[in-house]
């Protein structure tokens, strides 16, 4: 089984989205979001080239790819494939200025 690495920004993103969904929708939706995000991370680790490639000029983000959280298409996962899995860089809502959020 391939590994999933989460950067601290991605973990913060998950918590923020969880809290928002719990407050604005309900706890069941927040729990389902979190579970679907974790499931999608595992799918990406097993199929590292699944997402669309992005071109960013920052060398630390070379090879960055984008995919959606299963069943929560408005939430985007930004990740970098690794030889042993994936590094989850950020999990952002599609309405966010994610180009700015990704610039380091």
**In the chain, where the domains are located:** 3-102
Separation of alpha carbons 91 and 15, rounded Å = 10
Residue 9 buriedness (CB in 10 A; 0-12 / 13-18 / 19+):
middle
pTM greater than 0.85: yes
Condensed to tens digits (0 to 9), the pLDDT of residues 22-80 reads: 999 999 999 999 999 999 999 999 999 999 999 877 777 789 999 999 999 999 999 99
- The domain at 3-102 falls in which architecture? 2-Layer Sandwich (3.30)
Rg of the chain's alpha carbons, rounded to an integer? 13
């Amino acid at each position: 089984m391939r590994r999933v690495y989460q950067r601290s920004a991605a973990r913060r993103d998950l918590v923020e989205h969880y809290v928002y969904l719990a407050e604005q929708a309900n706890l069941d939706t927040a729990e389902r979001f979190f579970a679907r995000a974790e499931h999608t991370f595992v799918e990406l680790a097993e199929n590292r080239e699944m997402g669309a490639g992005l071109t960013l000029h920052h060398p630390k983000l070379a090879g960055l790819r984008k995919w959606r959280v299963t069943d929560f298409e408005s939430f985007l996962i930004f990740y970098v494939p690794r030889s042993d899995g994936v590094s989850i860089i950020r999990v952002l809502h599609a309405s966010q200025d994610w180009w700015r959020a990704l610039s380091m």
